[in-house]
Amino acid sequence: MKKIAIILSGCGNRDGSELQETLSLFLAIDRRGWQYQCFAPEGMFEVVSHLDNKEADDEGEEGTIVDVEQRDLYEEAARVCRGAILPLDAYNPADYDALALPGGMGAARNLSTYVYDGPRMEVVDTVHDAILETYRAKKPVCAMCIAPMLLAKVLGRYGVAITLGAAESTPADVARQLGCRVEACGPTDVCADDEHKVLTTPAYMVATHISEIFDGAEAMVAELEGWLNRVE
């Protein structure tokens, strides 16, 4: 039975893991009879209002920070997976067949500093190590929506191919600056970098319907299934 590790960034699209993307990823994995284990780093993060309907700007940021409130990332991520979560420093690539990161602005705010620093972004140490160690173990790394920006920072030096939806956008430009090849993809498409074992799908970077989110997650996991079957 295949086992997929999933890194969460909180709970909610504006300051954590995007729920529709995350649950679509869970379902695509579960329908194959595989297991998944969720992980998250520990630490506090700034809460962003989900009632503010401000549109995302070109950097991808949206919503207003609730200055008076902070929450624990690990505890918030546990809400998404019914408490079945482990601290990210317990992750070992040898125990899993692949690593996956759903989207949501938590990837850009909590797992990295992309929202604040753009091309000068940093990635949280445990997240950086999980991605890099999985890559070095020659196991697939998958990411959705804005989460491929984390792969750009960690793996861009290797020239990996990713998608962030549109070929021309601020995130795409930053990813190229970090060394990535960036491909344009529709909401249900998958960018498959066979050489580097990286799979990405744009999800809500371009999608407008939840059905597109599931179809994109399903397509990504189907591609992953093909890769893993070839390894056997």
149 in Cβ contact with 116 (< 8 Å): no
Residues 6+ apart with CB under 8 A from 142: 98, 99, 100, 101, 198, 199, 200, 220, 221, 224
Nearest to 202 by CA among 231, 178, 169: 169
Residues 6+ apart with CB under 8 A from 115: 59, 60, 61, 105, 108, 109
Asked if 142 is an active-site residue, the reply is: no
What is the band of 198 on the pLDDT scale with cuts at 50, 70, 90? very high
Q: Which CATH number fits domain 3-144+210-231: 1.10.3720.10, 3.40.50.880, 3.30.2090.10, 3.90.1150.10?
A: 3.40.50.880
Residues 6+ apart with CB under 8 A from 83: none
β 98-101/191-193 pair status? unpaired
Q: Residue 52's pLDDT is what? A: 67
User: Catalytic: which of 11, 142, 145, 185?
Assistant: 145
What is the band of 4 on the pLDDT scale with cuts at 50, 70, 90? very high
Q: Residue 95's pLDDT is what? A: 98
95-118 tens-digit pLDDT:
999 999 999 999 999 999 999 999
Q: Residue 59's pLDDT is what? A: 44
Distance of CA 76 to the CA centre of its chain: 16
User: In the chain, what are the domain boundaries?
Assistant: 3-144+210-231
What is the band of 131 on the pLDDT scale with cuts at 50, 70, 90? very high
Please, what is the average pLDDT of the chain?
92
pLDDT at 226 over 60: yes
Nearest to 103 by CA among 94, 95, 111, 91: 111
Q: Residue 58's pLDDT is what? A: 41
Strand (E) or helix (H) holding 173: helix 170-177
Residue with tokens 């579960």: 30
165-185 tens-digit pLDDT:
999 999 999 999 999 999 999
45-79 tens-digit pLDDT:
778 877 765 544 444 445 555 455 678 899 999 99
